[in-house]
Amino acid sequence: MKPILDMCCGSRMFYFDKQDNRVLFNDIRAEEHILCDGRILNITPDIISDFKNLPFPNNTFYQVLFDLLI
């Protein structure tokens, strides 16, 4: 298992390395959008699940990142 869980990864804008092998990327959706300037915004989590009901037992990860934008 990877040591870090990002519970609401979105498009991984938090990361310089968006493919960081230490992180398990989780989000409630997988989507692709074209932004107004033509860039493509990809939301591609490793796991699709709601952060309120994660499919992992307690103490699975050494670090958990929770960066939710509402």
pLDDT digits (tens, 9 = 90+) for 10-59: 999 989 999 999 999 999 999 999 999 999 999 999 999 999 999 999 99
Res 67 pLDDT > 90: no
Which amino acid makes up residue 68? L
Strand residue runs (E) in the chain: 4-6, 23-27, 31-34, 40-43, 47-48, 63-65
**pTM of the entire structure?**
0.90
In three-state secondary structure terms, 52 is helix
